[in-house]
A and B are shown apart, each in its own frame.
Chain A
Amino acid sequence: MTSLLLGDTGVLTSRSLRHILRSPDTIITTAVTPVALMLLFVYVLGGAINTGSNQSYVNYLLPGILLITIASGIAYTAYRLFLDLQGGIFERFQSMPIARSSVLWAHVLTSLAANLASVAIVTGVALIMGFRTGASVAGWLAVAGILVLFTLALTWIAVIAGLSAKTVDGASAFSYPLIFLPFISSAFVPTSSMPAPVAWFAENQPVTSIVNAIRALFTRQPVGDDIWIALAWLVGILVAAYAIATAIYRRRIS
């Protein structure tokens, strides 16, 4: 059964990866908005922002920008899943002797590959803009691990949206609040500069701890509690979204 799942997931993942390779604009589009935001904040607004450190602003900004990249990239997963459901190919797969969950896993793995590609592009642009880090290989790996976890958690939310959407627009609309969350966090400005109620929200929502953890890893500062809070959020969201998505999926196919 497990080998069936792996084999079928492999076949279906190569199918949806081929979709992305045939329309690489989805990866570019995903990277364009975060890059534009980065340019705007670093070269227009950044000069007026006091981050409370003497680091260059692009160093401060990049972790949040990477999260925005992923938050906007996962919408394509919901979109592609929705199209499969609409087109009938989904039912073809379901009526074949394959491991049924492989259909979802293929989309999740494809999302991971596509988002990591977008993240690589954005990081490349950041490096050109002067982003520097003293992080060791282990530090980079830790950052990559957090981003993978973040992508997986958000992708399973995208699966929920794709499975339950009624229209194409509905399938991707869910991502707007997710893209917006980093703005009300420590991603762009320190939370201490915000009015008390906003600061309270910012400090207690998941993005701030994730951003702080990545920033600490990049600047070789101790990660402190942030990393554990971040991991708790990520694993919690991942497990909850996975459970809801598979429950909806099971109801849908029975």
Chain B
Amino acid sequence: MTTGQALEPAIRVQGIGKSFKDLHVLRGVDLEVEAGSIFALLGSNGAGKTTLVRILSTLLKADSGTATVRGFDVGTEPGKVRESISLTGQFAAVDEVLTGRENLMLVARLRHLKSPAAIADDLLIRFSLTEAGNRKASTYSGGMRRRLDIAMSLIGNPPVVFLDEPTTGLDPQARVEVWQTIKQLADGGTTVLLTTQYLDEAEQLADRIAILHRGKIIQDGTLAELKQLLPPAKVDYVEKQPSLEEVFIALVSEAGEAGTADADRVDDKVAARKELR
């Protein structure tokens, strides 16, 4: 992060509109994401989150409005934008036939980086996938697949990372792992735009939250700012019950401290989940 970039927002979206035939998915979206921050785009299914991410990652052209990533226009300079970004889509985009290591090397080669093997090994360690590195990705659990997916997105250290619903379909523990990864990214100066339909995810991670509803941003601010929109908190005395999620994570992480491998952990989790039901 240089001071020059700090003046320019990492992502600037102005009046973006997009329709699919008669369906107006985005109707004039405006937002700005500060460099090095985590920005959460919150919205229910069908709110247009994915469409916006696809436009910003040059997969889709907007009908109206402009959007820039690090000052490059997504419509007129898509090549420059692609050099600045990486996209982790809603469904883990890994090659099932290749091993985890080969997947990482593939992306490193496509980014024209030197020593793809070393990059792959390094990321396998960072994402605790070393043991599974030489197995086909089709044998991975959902959480491992997601970790591999995110690891692939980080190759070449793109300054702006789009994460489209990064924790959808993950079990609670894998979710927490993904959250940690995202926090580390932002600590390292990467700008993160993530979409989510989970309120707690936005609350946990984001420096700034925008609510996308029916194709428009209806609110945009920090968590504190959004909370002020409602009347001041009323004091109610309620017995503090741990949420099922807290119970589950506590139980599973105790069991996990024995140092079991990923694959075993997944089985444990499945078993534990069944018991909890």
Contact = CB atoms under 8 A, between A and B. Distances in A.
A253 interface: yes
A97 B83 contact: yes
Contacts, number: 62
B110 A19 contact: no
Interface in A36-65: none
Contact of B87 (A19, A23, A95): A95
Contacts of B112: 7
**Which among B60, B112, B152 has the highest number of chain A CB atoms within 10 Å?**
B112
B110 A254 contact: no
Interface stretch (A83-91, A192-200, A212-220, A225-233): A83-91
Interface in A179-217: none
B58 interface: yes
A93 B95 CA distance: 11
Contacts of A254: 60-61
B97 A96 contact: no
Nearest to B162: A95
Nearest to B89: A88
Nearest to B90: A88
Contact of A95 (B85, B90, B94, B97): B85
A5 interface: no
A15 interface: yes
A205 B239 CA distance: 82
A101 interface: no
Interface in B190-214: none
Main secondary structure of the interface of A (DSSP, over half): helix
A166 interface: no
B119 interface: no
A66 to B, nearest CB: 28
Contact of A94 (B59, B91, B92, B97): B59
B98 interface: yes
Contacts of A92: 87, 89, 93, 107, 152-153
Contacts of A12: 110
A19 B137 CA distance: 13
Interface string A96-108: 1110000000000
Given A94-B59, A95-B86, A87 B91 contact: yes
B89 A96 contact: no
Contact of B110 (A11, A18, A22, A253): A11
Interface string B24-56: 000000000000000000000000000000100
Interface in A8-30: 8, 11-12, 15, 18-19, 22-23
B96 interface: yes
Contacts of A88: 89-93
A12 B95 CA distance: 12
B79 interface: yes
A18 B59 contact: no
A156 to B, nearest CB: 23
Interface string B118-138: 000000000000000000000
A95 B98 contact: no
The 5 closest A-B pairs by CB, nearest first: A88-B93, A95-B87, A92-B93, A97-B82, A95-B57
Given A19-B97, A95-B57, 11 more contacts: A11-B109, A18-B97, A23-B97, A87-B96, A88-B89, A88-B91, A89-B93, A91-B87, A92-B107, A95-B86, A97-B82
5 contacts: A11-B109, A15-B106, A88-B93, A92-B152, A96-B82
Interface of A: 7-8, 11-12, 15, 18-19, 22-23, 87-98, 253-254
